[in-house]
Amino acid sequence: MSTSQPSFVDSDPSGARTRISQLRSDPPRSILILQTKHIGDLVLSSALARNLQLEYPGVRIVFLCDGRFASFLTANDIASEVVTFRRSYMRGTPLRRTQELVLTLFKLRRYHFDMVVDITDTKTSRFISGLLGARVRVGYHPSERAPRWLERQPANVKAKPFGYGGRHFLHRYLSPLEALGIELRAPSPDIRPMPIETTKALALLDKFHLRPGAFVAVHAGASFPGRRWQPERFAAAIDRISAETGLDVALVGSPDENEVVEKVLANAKTRIVNLVGALPLETLPALFKQARLFLGNDSGPMHMAAAAGIPVVGLFGLQSPVRWGPVGAPNIPMRPSMPCDCVGGDLCERPDPNKACCVWRLEVAPVVEAVLELLARTHTALEAEM
């Protein structure tokens, strides 16, 4: 067990030090992590789960997340079990939201959790944390969105907004460890796919005649058009990278990104292997581990590739890589100069970084140069290890 001192954000009226001290003599058997956001957030949160597993050997780590991501967490050894909810229902009518919330609470209460770690930090997640009766409840102080006068923060161990002196969102998700006095032994995400996922990935590579370590994985999609680099620029970059390195190129992504992918394929002269929709989300990290490099937009697959340990060139717009850049692997984040001369017109909805088109200002040449630089740098490092 760690002997690190817990980092508190304020005085200790709730007896947090006593609770933490008791954890050393009576460690938790089951921990719930409330992370109901997106796949990139879950990848970053995997470092929190890994450190909790190291601190409390044999503990059951359960995530609450959107149902789409459940198999990803279990297939990559991030969670022991997953409790799911339907995000679309939580955004529906008041009746539908209430029904989904009651059902979720019913499923969670059966576990009798010893600890709840709320890193979602919303009104709903705080409400759930307060109703589960765990002896240790970790939450942020101050909250990202301050509770209103009828709301409260149910945490009895309070974490700083960002832990370990960091500014990246990874440090937000690691901050509960600091509040608990847990030594940081796994400082970044490190996804370890189950052997069956590696077998699936290798079979797919063999089917499309892709050699492990000899292809670039490219993700041209993202959740909003403003976060997607132009398909014709991806195509031009792919042509140059392939011509200068001899590496194959494989496009990855979900089936709903087919429209973007078709534009890339239509504009490229190079042979490109289209793997979009060819494998489930849980197998994607195993595929990334076989790639030589990842090139893609600021999105969940970018974080997944970095957590798989391959070099990453990530393309950013208004959202800062200081806060959301790839971590855990050699990387070069690309971002146009700021402040941005708007190129998105009516499509942009600043200051929301998810709805701003600044990434469109990135030119092809510097992106290709970044890819070639990172390939050269990591090739030298690989040779040194051999």
- Residue-wise DSSP of 75-139: HTTS-SEEEEE-HHHHTS-HHHHHHHHHHHHHHHHTT--SEEEE-S-SHHHHHHHHHS--SEEEE
Length of the chain: 386
Residues 289, 140 within the same domain: no
Q: Identify the pLDDT of residue 146.
A: 75
In this structure, what DSSP letter does residue 358 have? Answer: G
pTM greater than 0.85 = yes
Query: Which own/partner contact pairs does 14-18 have at CB distance under 8 Å and 24+ positions apart?
Result: 14/156, 15/156, 16/156, 16/157, 16/158, 16/179
Domain at 147, CATH number:
3.40.50.2000
Look up the domain containing 43 and give its range.
16-179
Give a yes or no: residue 286 inside a domain. Answer: yes
Mean pLDDT lowest among 7-16, 119-128, 225-234, 330-339: 7-16
Whole-number Å distance between alpha carbons of 113 and 168: 29
Give the CA count within 13 Å in the CB-facing half-sphere of 91. 5
In which band, very low, low, confident or very high, does the pLDDT at 340 lie, cut at 50, 70 and 90?
confident
Residue 215 contacts residue 247 (beta carbons within 8 Å) = yes
Select the more confidently predicted residue: 223 or 45. 45
What average pLDDT does this structure show over 100-122? Answer: 96
Residues 85, 138 within the same domain: yes
Residue 385 has pLDDT above 60, yes or no: no
Give a yes or no: residue 342 inside a domain. Answer: yes
Residue 58 has pLDDT above 60, yes or no: yes
Residues 172, 200 within the same domain: no
Q: Hey, what are 54's tokens? A: 């190291």
Residue 344 has pLDDT above 90, yes or no: no
The helix (H) or strand (E) run that includes residue 69 is: none
Give a yes or no: residue 87 inside a domain. Answer: yes
Query: Which own/partner contact pairs does 381-385 have at CB distance under 8 Å and 24+ positions apart?
Result: 381/330
